[in-house]
Amino acid sequence: MRVDGRQWRTIWVENEAGDVGVIDQTLLPHRFTCRVVGDAAEMAAAIRDMVVRGAPLIGASAAYGMALAMRSNPADDNLDAAATMLAAARPTAVNLRWALDRLVGHLRPLPAHLRRAAAYKHAAAIADEDVAINQAIGCHGLDLVRKVADGKAGKPVNILTHCNAGWLATVDWGTATAPIYMAHDMGIPVHVWVEETRPRNQGAALTAWELSKHGVAMSLIADNAGGHIMQHGEVDMVIVGTDRTTANGDVANKIGTYLKALAARDNGVPFYVALPSPTIDFSLHDGIADIPIEERSPREVTHIQGATESGTIVEVNLAPVGITARNYAFDVTPARLVTGLITERGIAPASSEGLAALFPEQVTP
């Protein structure tokens, strides 16, 4: 997508030596700064510290992390050590394991001297595939937006989203935002309710930033306002992303998503999940029991980051010093609350049958 007139992706090869460039998402929206990642340990830290985040981008970053590892030492023991280290960076987004399994499966049979070039090529393929997947999700989601727009006589389609499932969370386009960007670019009036997404505020910091850079109409709301605006008919549809969706359609996404799905059901608002296939974990069949939910530092709950009027980025305490806090990063929305899964192959009902019909090759007899 474009930032101030220049086309960007969220991850790229920075130079001929093979260093990897990323946008430092911990500084947005206050500063647009890029970072150079020089080895696999630095990439694991960038994923863990959320310099890069969002399930698809975590997958692409892990793939480039393996390329960096092969650049420094293509031996078998380093292949395994790098994959183990990167896999431990964040637990919920299954794209991480998916990308690592793909890289390791591709590299292991190769002689060591061919692994470096092959790893960069494969990481680039994963990044390009992500862009193509998101564009396809955009096209399928656009049909849904267009249908709502047809009944609104020129009034904007109001879409609520949670966290950041935008281009910053992917290599480009985003998942939940792809239909929104496409609708906007085609002249369909859209307005996005952006939930701030405590504790790390990916909605306020990232989604609000990227939508407004692209000129999409939006309003930032506190997380707790979502139910209220649904009750007052101000939301035509919800579209969120996902970090892992089970074979039966249970959806793990940023903490707070489940409450919005409940409110959407209570108010008859369609609740869609934009779901790239690398985010489907076909080995799991019960999201609440089986999806590992990341618990992050309590400091993300007790403290908040922002910028002063002069632009200095500061962190301040919100809670009594020394208080106990818990920081669950994701929750699971049961399939029964999901209206549809917008995948690159089309829109599936959130069920085993729905996903199996679109991805028959994944079904084990």
- CA–CA distance, 183 with 144 (Å, rounded to integer): 10
Q: From residue 266, give the alpha-carbon distance in Å to each of 195, 259, 260, 271.
A: 19, 11, 10, 11
Q: Within positions 69 to 128, which residues make up the interface with ligand MRU, using CB under 6 A?
A: 93
Helices (H) and strands (E) in the chain, counts: 13, 18
Main-chain phi, psi angles of 41, to 5 degrees: -65, -40
Token pair 């192959």 is found at 345
Question: Which of 10, 158, 207, 242 touches ligand MRU (CB under 6 A)?
Answer: 242
Q: Within positions 128 to 187, which residues make up the interface with ligand MRU, using CB under 6 A?
A: 163, 165, 169-170, 174-175
- Does the protein bind ligand MRU through residue 26 (CB under 6 A)? no
Nearest of 214, 151, 137, 209 to residue 179 by alpha carbon: 137
- CA–CA distance, 232 with 281 (Å, rounded to integer): 36
Q: Prior bond to 199 cis, omega within 30?
A: yes
Contacting range for ligand MRU; rule: CB under 6 A; set: 16-24, 107-115, 123-131, 235-243: 235-243
What are the structure tokens assigned to 274, written together?
């934009």
Contacting range for ligand MRU; rule: CB under 6 A; set: 217-225, 240-248, 303-311, 346-354: 240-248
Taking the least distance from each CB to ligand MRU, the nearer of 100 and 165 is 165
- Cβ-closest residue to ligand MRU? 241
**Active-site option among 243, 250, 281, 331:** 243
Burial class (CB in 10 A: 0-12, 13-18, 19+), 38: middle
Q: Within positions 35 to 54, which residues make up the interface with ligand MRU, using CB under 6 A?
A: 53-54
Q: From residue 293, give the alpha-carbon distance in Å to each of 176, 302, 327, 332, 355.
A: 21, 20, 10, 9, 23
Taking the least distance from each CB to ligand MRU, the nearer of 70 and 347 is 347
Size of the site for ligand MRU (CB under 6 A): 18
Taking the least distance from each CB to ligand MRU, the nearer of 90 and 115 is 90
What are the structure tokens assigned to 309, written together?
């009027």
Contact 177, 169 (CB under 8 A): no
What are the structure tokens assigned to 252, written together?
């793990």
Taking the least distance from each CB to ligand MRU, the nearer of 79 and 279 is 279
Q: Give the per-residue contact string, 324-363, with ligand MRU (x = CB under 6 A; - = no).
A: -----x----------------------------------
Q: Is 243 a catalytic residue?
A: yes
Question: Which of 122, 140, 254, 260 touches ligand MRU (CB under 6 A)?
Answer: 254
The dihedral sign for the CA sequence 73, 10, 313, 315: negative
In this structure, what DSSP letter does residue 156 have?
P
What are the structure tokens assigned to 289, written together?
């029991």
Taking the least distance from each CB to ligand MRU, the nearer of 169 and 190 is 169
Minimum separation from the CB atom of position 290 to ligand MRU (A): 18
Question: Which of 253, 302, 333, 343 touches ligand MRU (CB under 6 A)?
Answer: 253
Minimum separation from the CB atom of position 230 to ligand MRU (A): 19
Taking the least distance from each CB to ligand MRU, the nearer of 53 and 122 is 53
Contact 157, 193 (CB under 8 A): no
- CA–CA distance, 31 with 81 (Å, rounded to integer): 34
Minimum separation from the CB atom of position 79 to ligand MRU (A): 26
Minimum separation from the CB atom of position 347 to ligand MRU (A): 17
Question: Which of 11, 37, 56, 64 touches ligand MRU (CB under 6 A)?
Answer: 56
Positions in the binding site for ligand MRU (CB under 6 A): 53-56, 93, 163, 165, 169-170, 174-175, 202, 241-243, 253-254, 329
Catalytic residues: 243
